[in-house]
Structure 1
Amino acid sequence: MEDPNLYAIVDIEATAGSLGTDERMIQFACILLEDGQVVEEFDTLVNPLRPVPIRIQKLTGISQKEVNQAPHFDEIAHIIHDLLEDAVFVAHNVNFDYRFLNERFEAVGLEPLQTKAIDTVALSRICFPQADHYNLTDLTTWLGYDIEQAHDALYDARATAFLLDKIIGKLASLPPLTLKQVSDLSQGLAQDTQWLIDQAYNQVKDQSPDLENGLVFYEGLAIKDPKKSFDIRLSRSLKDYPLTDRDKAKFFAKSFRLRQRQGDLMDQIYYYFNKDKENEELAIEAPAGIGKSLAYLVPSVFVGKPVVISTHTRTLQDQLLEEALPFMEQVSPLKPKVLVFKGCHHYLSLTRFSQALKSVSSGDSAAMIAMQVLVWLTETETGDVDELNIDSLNHPFWQAIITRYSQLPLLSDQDFYKRLVRQAKSADIVITNHAHLITDLNRMPGQRVLPNFDHLIIDEAQHLAKVTGGLAQSSLNKSKITRLLRALGDYSSDGTLIDRMEDYTQRRWLSQAQIHRLVTCRSRLAEAVSYFFELFIPSLEMEGRQGWLEEVIDDPEAIADLDQTKRLGICLNQLIQELQTIYQDLKGYQDAFVKSDHLLLEDLFTISNQLSDFYRDFNKLFGPYGSDRLIWIEAYASSLDTSIRLKSFSQGKKSQLLANLHAISHVIYISSTLSVNQSVAFFEKQVQAKNLKYLAYLSPYQVKDQAQILVPKDLVPVKKFSNQHLVHHLVTQIVTMMKNLNRKTLILFHSHEVLQEVYHTLTASGLLSDYALLAQDLSGSRYKILKQFKRAKKSILFGSDTFFEGIDLPGEFLEVVILTRLPFDSPDMPLVKDEHQRMKEEGMNIFKDDLLPRAVIKTKQAYGRLIRSEKDRGVFVILDDRFLHANYASIFQQSLPGGEDYKRCLLKDLPQAVNQFLGEACDLQ
């Protein structure tokens, strides 16, 4: 008889992770847990009577020799069966372990287990919605468990036992209201997982419904009390700033040593902020290791008014919040009121969620999201969805519950975004991102959500121009509109929105004529979409073209005047009007709604909004034209019809966005890569600054001792290669270098298509089979790739685009960076061609004033991956003869730290040269 207080925590290692394929067990481990105490551990290897794949041996650390000496499963099956039959079965991914074990029991003539089985993966997603990852190792480490040896069954079982204890504790800490709501949504969880949630609820359901632990009620939800308030700003001013060395010695803790360059940077920001309003902006190039975050945070606190700090990446925002600000508070008396403020779509709307929750049923795809959010609301003070680990933020339910700017007047004062707007007015420092900053500055003054400010620091400033250019673009995506029309459906599509509305004609909430008009509008729009996008397919159909294709539309006014274009606009508008009318009609019957009605109304609202967004972008593309408007087509060669989209860019719009920025009296741009050959003229042109003062700081590291630039002597000139021959040549070069290198290496490509071909060629050839080969966009998420790269003893990471910067692999995790080609942009890209045409009209040199500085900055970013601390050592290899022989080679060399001291060797000797430098001084000429 099953004992509900006895848990059997099980982990199995097998020859593969598939069910129903006659795979075999190689290790079984079980921990019996009763009332939170371990009462028994059982662990055994199992002879699978077949070879264990090498991959599994490496993963588990279990050798073929070990399992050959182990008992067969049929010899121990009855022992395992007896061990488990009276306990609640627990596993991390129970659908595999429980079903696999029952398959093996039946194979040897034993009855399958009938015990309850619960899944710690699903429970972890619910109980710990802010965890970064839900694999056992990462999750238990995040919870504080020191797992000794992942993928060994016994150690994994112990970790799962630790995890189960944390889950039970978390469930016990939740208020009865939240537990009841989660329980009602949990019927669709794996096996009997809901049972554990019900157990937790049954223990508290008779308790007082009053909330404790800093929680309050809001519209049927238990949320963390929004007590955080910034009513009073710090009473400091710039005259209080510790300017002299003596003042700084008194101001900072004795344990803190302010570096000379860091102190100078701090003072320069103070001097600039202390100036009266004038037509001058400040650009600062501050290399890694100088301590720039503290250097700009300290003077910012003394301004006495809100200072806005804008970053490009969430990583830097996290570093400011979790490292730089706590450190400043530790070494100084400063305790500023700091707020992170992103665009409204980053925040949950409590009002929308409380309404949408009524429409979710157990088993819905939205149920897991709803359960995670219910638990998260008892934890979060911000409502920032970046805190959550949600599988798909594109899920219709999630899109229905985020905050939208157009809905702000309808939100309650308790809603997260409304709180942020209030708190920002009295914050000392507001941290935001470039996109939100530029978007908000483009609003009318009375409609802005950021506080009034005169002091702005733009960190990661090298991204500002690109972000602003992106905000000056619009896009019409065929797959997006097709997906929306498919969700809307028609008479013959079961389960679609229109099919579900049919019932409302019987209830007399809608008329048959309304449904007919909706179906007609939907059908007409689907036809108009097809005819419209078919216009552009012929211009992309060229033999031999691969990857993403782009083609500029030379006469957009003519496209706007075509019947197909006008018809698309009319059909879009008609369908949106019909949907909005039906939405308003149905809202009048909400008092009589059941869950399915609430769900339909939410779906109707979401589709209507998304169609309105598409219509807005359509009007942007085909609205009034200026001479600066560029429109082009994009599509993927192998799927033209489904991937096609139209995009537009307005230089005038970009200029207006930047002009709003330049209206701020004090603007500081800061980055480690702003200059080209000690000049910021290119950056100044990109951000359209008119009077830019430039300060540059040297690296605090001993670059000549820590890094070496190597260029092979026997490089073949780049211009001799077609794309096909380039791939073959790079494969040969990489194999030659890596065979004897044995260092963690990042190989950077400027073309993602070339990266893919090189990666696929190498993996298929097996020439580097002793390395873990990982490629951007081909080997999983960025996090997964970097984690595998760090873990593997020998690994090569193939990257492009975003991997030129923004990845932090310190010390031994990255010792070699190989740049396959100098990263010049293709002059055939629509945006590049458009920019070059403008430059040509202005009499500028396209190569010297645009292509060259872009390539130099990107090369500096690639080099910057190597040395991230004073202990790092690394080698930067350049496989491009232009670095040596081009008439612009000196510009690249002078822009890189130690670039003029590069060394040369034959390609075949490069591994030895690298190993010599990283082991001891290298004597190369």
Structure 2
Amino acid sequence: MNYVVFDIETTGLDPSNHEIIEVGAVRIRDGAIADTFHHLVRPRQSIPEEISRLTGIDDGMVADAESADEILPKLLQFIGDDTLVAHNLSFDAPFLQHKLDDLGYTLLRPDGLCTLVLARALFPTLSGHRLENVAEHLGIVPETAHRALADAMTTAKVFLAITERASSLPLMLVQQLAQLSGLFSPRTGDWFTDLSLQVMSTRADAIPDDCEVREGMLYTSVKPREEGAKPGERVVGDIQEQALQMLAAGGPLSESLPGYEPREGQLQMVAKVSEALTADKHAVIEAGTGTGKSMAYLIPAALHALASDERVVVSTHTLALQDQIEQRDFPTLVKLFGGQISLAVQKGRKNYVCLRKVRAEAGVMSFSSHADEIQGMMGLLVWLTQTAEGVREELSSHAVSHALWSRVQSETDTCINKRCPFFRPCYYFRAKARAQTAEIVVTNHSLLLSDLKADHRVLPKYEALVIDEAHHLEDQATKHLGDEVHAAQLAALSYRLSRDRGKNGIIPELKSRFETSQSMPLSMEDKLTRAQEWIEDVSRSADTAFALLGGLLPAGKNELRLTDDLWRHPNFIQFSEQMSELRAPIHALRELVKGLQEWAKKAMSDDDAGRIIDAAGFLDQWLQGVELLEEMTVPSDSRVTWIERRGYGRPRYSVHTAPIDVSSTLRTLLFEPLASTVLTSATLSVRGRFDFTINQLGLGESLAEKRLITGNVPSPFDYQSQARLFVPNDVPELAKMTADEAATWLCDSLYHLAVASSGRVLALFTSHQMLRETAKLLRGPLAAKNLSVFAQDVDGGRTAMLEAFRNNPNSILLGAQSFWEGIDLPGDQLTTLVIIRLPFAPPSHPVTEARHERLTKSGQSPFWVASLPEAVVRFRQGFGRLIRTKQDKGVVVVYDKRIITAKYGATFIQSLAGIRPHVAPEQEVLRQVRSFLSQSATS
């Protein structure tokens, strides 16, 4: 094929109302760039200011250019009958065709190749697939962005590199990609087919050494399991002494890590962790930023595991910390122990891909399948030849959608275990096998709590536990020890089971597959036929039940706690009656699940067994959700239940339940059975005391029994010289202003701060609405100063915004809840941190409301006992974003005067590491910020 790679710049996204202002094209012949085409285009209307800022094209530049009527026929002639290529062809080609239609022309071959689609399929683990992301991944230096010829040239280079990469894939995989892509784009299918012919002519269809093939599936092979250390082989004597020796100056760690220097705080923490593990005690240890706490608990944990032959589990809240332990800390640990320590990472089962389901889903893809799902399947097949772990987190959500993943994820309910042809190479069972033999297992709080809920059937047996990021434990326990049912999820499962009046779906497809087979039990055909009616009836009634519950929500309110008066509301009584009518069909469908499970055991082939157990599993999941809906709405003194509404127009309802108090559950199920638990975080204390954490997590009895160690390990950073805390005392009370009014004031103040620090500003909000309004007003004024604004969930998600902020220092990042912690911006990536309001949680949330009521009844103050300590911990997390290394310097500006005027404000200040606020009018604060940052830049 010959190709023409093209790009257009437009005045907007709507071809009916917007115009083309530039076209660029590059011809590729025989694998090389042969010719180019470029013209500015004079639009009928003025170019919008934001388009001029983006592209650099203004009205003056196009004043003497030819119009689209003159340029587009020339472009059409340049393209001829060559194959079109573009990055995001689904936008560029229809936009171009719309303009050609106006002139009476048409593209000869509108179907072409999209490098965005190809990149998502061939590089499914890239965090972003914008042209610049793909170019960087391929080692291509992009031309100037947002100019037509430059982008077309970059796309051409990307296309040639993608062609080379695709040619290196195994022949079997290229053929599968050709078959799938042909379902949504014949031209793309032909391209892959041509590649497969080239591969056949140049090399044999050899399976890569690190892959294997089974049942037509190509995937990474199972690595031989490495043996861990033998009991007692490595460690004898005092664990604390040995751990301290490893970390001492001139010790083994300094030999493994060039530039390593012992840190007093880290040594203090090692001593406390060692004491807890060897003395069978629990520990609550706050370790400030920069302490090196992960190695401070990993080394004693490894020594303890080898000495006692007892596994140690490490639980984190974030995947980032989990990855840090696995990829950065553990290799160092292996060196320290001469390879005699093993670590495994275990995640929730639904995080792992099921090879059998991938094969089944790929097999049913057809011309009627959605293009996004076919492209996602292509990405999955490529990824399976590369992934060692088979976990969802490796994949870009743009490459593989949540909907597709939910159909290929590993699940207990749909697993046929040893009957599965992929049982041996199953990624989930690979991870589980590694965990069973590892001395240290790294998991997350979610799976840790799921293990408690499942009576310890999820994680391998352990006696010692380290909980990092422990300030999240109560929230995670509240979430995972509760339940929730979403109307949309039930509807989606119902749709998968049976739709189009029983013509399509898992149940009718199963019936159709086996209706001419002798292997179907005699009564099963009739049951499957009737099941389609039952599913429809139950689904319709469940929708009505959710609507009745949703009707309880007052206008303008998105959450409603079910209290005594609401249990007696006519809507709730009608809901209960609606649910009682479902018992007969639910019972019949439950019997069908049992029948399917029995039938699967006797199926003639493993593939048949898999199809039958899939149907049983999905039906069981759906029934569990419907049954849970009724169970959750039974009144309880120990739990809080609430209804949520999300979305507009057609609202989506869900019902949630959670324990009011998790401390007793954690004490009974987690702390009492274990010999030792170490809880650590950078923020566990309030005013240097651990009372809040101890009470919150149920460690009071351990303290009374003298089985609890506490410790506050200071950060090695010199905050007094590295940071300044400023509070403008003439700030208006933002809480008393509308979002628009607050945004107007914030825009002016943040503008001056951003200019004063030349960008590198992170502003932390507690209100998404205020964030959006501020971003809208701030973008234009800062653009005039060549400063960019990146706003969370306005310009992109958390990961994309962080990446953009890191790559563009002349910018300000506006973030909400998820930016208050877990982000690392060392050096001069961040010099100014702004805290808009003190982070008090809304007291109206049903769980918070129920807990506050319980505290009030016991004679305690909900504010002083719960709200304030929670806000202080959150505030300290936000403050901790600023100083990440000993070299960092920067300022924190708090726009909430309550920190200096309210009685409780001192609690926030006293919980910081020796920092005292500089209080002054806003203009004086700006002057001092400039002074401090300029001194820091020259020092």
**Given the two structures, how large is their TM-score scaled by the length of structure 2?**
0.85
* Cross-structure match for 2:391: 384
Deviations 1:485-525 (A, max 9, x none): 45556675875667878978996978896466335423542
Among 193, 212, 228, which residue is 2:188 paired with?
193
- In 2, the alpha carbon distance for the partners of 1:687 and 1:264 equals 25
Aligned runs of 1:535-684 on 2, under 5 Å? Answer: 535-537=548-550, 539-541=552-554, 546-554=556-564, 563-564=576-577, 566-567=579-580, 570=583, 573-574=586-587, 576-577=589-590, 580=593, 604=615, 607-615=618-626, 617-618=628-629, 620-621=631-632, 627-636=637-646, 642-651=651-660, 655-662=664-671, 663-684=673-694
Note the residue ranges of structure 2 that are not aligned, 5 or more in a row: none
Give how far 1:470 is off.
Answer: 0.5
Aligned runs of 1:727-746 on 2, under 5 Å? Answer: 727=739, 729-741=741-753, 742=755, 743-746=759-762
Among 930, 934, 937, which residue is 1:915 paired with?
930
Give how far 1:64 is off.
Answer: 4.0
Q: Alpha carbons of 1:186 and 1:902: their partners in 2 closer, same or farther (altered >3 Å)? A: same
Give how far 1:400 is off.
Answer: 2.9
Q: Alpha carbons of 1:667 and 1:848: their partners in 2 closer, same or farther (altered >3 Å)? A: same
Among 114, 130, 134, which residue is 1:139 paired with?
134
Aligned partners of 1:772 and 1:794 also within 8 Å: yes
* Cross-structure match for 1:443: 454
- In 1, the alpha carbon distance for the partners of 2:567 and 2:44 equals 72
Give how far 1:557 is off.
Answer: 8.1
Q: Alpha carbons of 1:309 and 1:516: their partners in 2 closer, same or farther (altered >3 Å)? A: closer
* Residue 218 (1) aligns with residue 211 (2): no
* Cross-structure match for 2:472: 463
Aligned partners of 1:9 and 1:89 also within 8 Å: yes
Percent same amino acid at aligned positions?
26
* Cross-structure match for 1:837: 853
Among 414, 417, 427, which residue is 2:428 paired with?
417
Note the residue ranges of structure 1 that are not aligned, 5 or more in a row: none
Aligned partners of 1:339 and 1:424 also within 8 Å: yes
- In 2, the alpha carbon distance for the partners of 1:341 and 1:82 equals 58
Deviations 1:607-638 (A, max 9, x none): 41431330453365257x76312222333596
* Cross-structure match for 2:55: 60
Give how far 1:391 is off.
Answer: 3.8
Give how far 1:472 is off.
Answer: 1.5
- In 1, the alpha carbon distance for the partners of 2:401 and 2:617 equals 12
Aligned partners of 2:140 and 2:157 also within 8 Å: yes
Among 141, 144, 147, which residue is 1:149 paired with?
144
Aligned partners of 1:45 and 1:70 also within 8 Å: yes
* Residue 749 (1) aligns with residue 747 (2): no
Q: Alpha carbons of 1:82 and 1:355: their partners in 2 closer, same or farther (altered >3 Å)? A: closer
- In 2, the alpha carbon distance for the partners of 1:356 and 1:367 equals 10
Aligned partners of 1:746 and 1:814 also within 8 Å: yes
- In 2, the alpha carbon distance for the partners of 1:620 and 1:392 equals 38
Q: Alpha carbons of 1:493 and 1:792: their partners in 2 closer, same or farther (altered >3 Å)? A: farther
Amino acid at match of 2:295: L
- In 2, the alpha carbon distance for the partners of 1:108 and 1:905 equals 65
Give how far 1:237 is off.
Answer: 2.2
Secondary structure, aligned partner of 2:679: strand
What is the root-mean-square deviation of aligned Cα atoms in Å? 4.1
Aligned partners of 2:212 and 2:218 also within 8 Å: yes
Amino acid at match of 1:354: R
Give how far 1:654 is off.
Answer: 6.3
Give how far 1:68 is off.
Answer: 4.0
* Cross-structure match for 1:121: 116
Q: Alpha carbons of 1:589 and 1:471: their partners in 2 closer, same or farther (altered >3 Å)? A: closer
Secondary structure, aligned partner of 2:125: coil
Aligned runs of 1:352-371 on 2, under 5 Å? Answer: 352-365=357-370, 366-371=373-378
Give how far 1:677 is off.
Answer: 0.5
* Cross-structure match for 2:355: 350
* Cross-structure match for 2:542: 529
- In 1, the alpha carbon distance for the partners of 2:401 and 2:668 equals 33
Q: Alpha carbons of 1:755 and 1:634: their partners in 2 closer, same or farther (altered >3 Å)? A: same
Give how far 1:462 is off.
Answer: 1.0
Q: Alpha carbons of 1:51 and 1:552: their partners in 2 closer, same or farther (altered >3 Å)? A: same
Among 3, 12, 17, which residue is 2:8 paired with?
12
Deviations 1:816-854 (A, max 9, x none): 333233222333322112222333444433222211111
- In 2, the alpha carbon distance for the partners of 1:409 and 1:563 equals 36
Q: Alpha carbons of 1:135 and 1:77: their partners in 2 closer, same or farther (altered >3 Å)? A: same
Secondary structure, aligned partner of 2:762: strand
Q: Alpha carbons of 1:580 and 1:443: their partners in 2 closer, same or farther (altered >3 Å)? A: closer
Secondary structure, aligned partner of 2:441: strand
Give how far 1:734 is off.
Answer: 0.9
Aligned partners of 1:525 and 1:568 also within 8 Å: no
Give how far 1:23 is off.
Answer: 1.8
- In 2, the alpha carbon distance for the partners of 1:105 and 1:893 equals 65
Give how far 1:281 is off.
Answer: 1.5
* Cross-structure match for 1:889: 905
Q: Alpha carbons of 1:186 and 1:605: their partners in 2 closer, same or farther (altered >3 Å)? A: farther
* Residue 861 (1) aligns with residue 865 (2): no
- In 1, the alpha carbon distance for the partners of 2:110 and 2:398 equals 30
Amino acid at match of 1:425: Q
Q: Alpha carbons of 1:569 and 1:652: their partners in 2 closer, same or farther (altered >3 Å)? A: farther
Q: Alpha carbons of 1:170 and 1:695: their partners in 2 closer, same or farther (altered >3 Å)? A: same
Aligned partners of 1:310 and 1:433 also within 8 Å: yes
Q: Alpha carbons of 1:474 and 1:845: their partners in 2 closer, same or farther (altered >3 Å)? A: same
Give how far 1:347 is off.
Answer: 0.2
Give how far 1:392 is off.
Answer: 8.4
Aligned partners of 1:290 and 1:699 also within 8 Å: yes
* Cross-structure match for 1:479: 488
Secondary structure, aligned partner of 2:752: coil
Q: Alpha carbons of 1:606 and 1:50: their partners in 2 closer, same or farther (altered >3 Å)? A: farther
Among 312, 316, 322, which residue is 1:311 paired with?
316
Amino acid at match of 2:644: E
Q: Alpha carbons of 1:679 and 1:801: their partners in 2 closer, same or farther (altered >3 Å)? A: same
Deviations 1:168-213 (A, max 9, x none): 2332233233222222211133461111111122234587655233
Secondary structure, aligned partner of 2:545: helix
- In 2, the alpha carbon distance for the partners of 1:800 and 1:571 equals 47
Give how far 1:373 is off.
Answer: 1.6
* Cross-structure match for 2:234: 236
Secondary structure, aligned partner of 1:822: coil
Deviations 1:136-185 (A, max 9, x none): 11122123333353323444334323322332233223323322222221
Aligned partners of 1:253 and 1:331 also within 8 Å: no
* Residue 874 (1) aligns with residue 904 (2): no
Aligned partners of 1:735 and 1:768 also within 8 Å: no
Q: Alpha carbons of 1:703 and 1:172: their partners in 2 closer, same or farther (altered >3 Å)? A: same
Secondary structure, aligned partner of 2:645: strand
* Cross-structure match for 1:825: 841
Give how far 1:676 is off.
Answer: 0.6
Q: Alpha carbons of 1:29 and 1:323: their partners in 2 closer, same or farther (altered >3 Å)? A: farther
Give how far 1:860 is off.
Answer: 0.8
Deviations 1:441-462 (A, max 9, x none): 44345x34x3333332221111
Aligned partners of 2:413 and 2:617 also within 8 Å: no
Aligned partners of 1:273 and 1:666 also within 8 Å: no
- In 2, the alpha carbon distance for the partners of 1:296 and 1:593 equals 46
- In 2, the alpha carbon distance for the partners of 1:66 and 1:748 equals 40
Give how far 1:379 is off.
Answer: 0.9
Deviations 1:653-679 (A, max 9, x none): 763345332122232222111111011
Q: Alpha carbons of 1:361 and 1:462: their partners in 2 closer, same or farther (altered >3 Å)? A: same
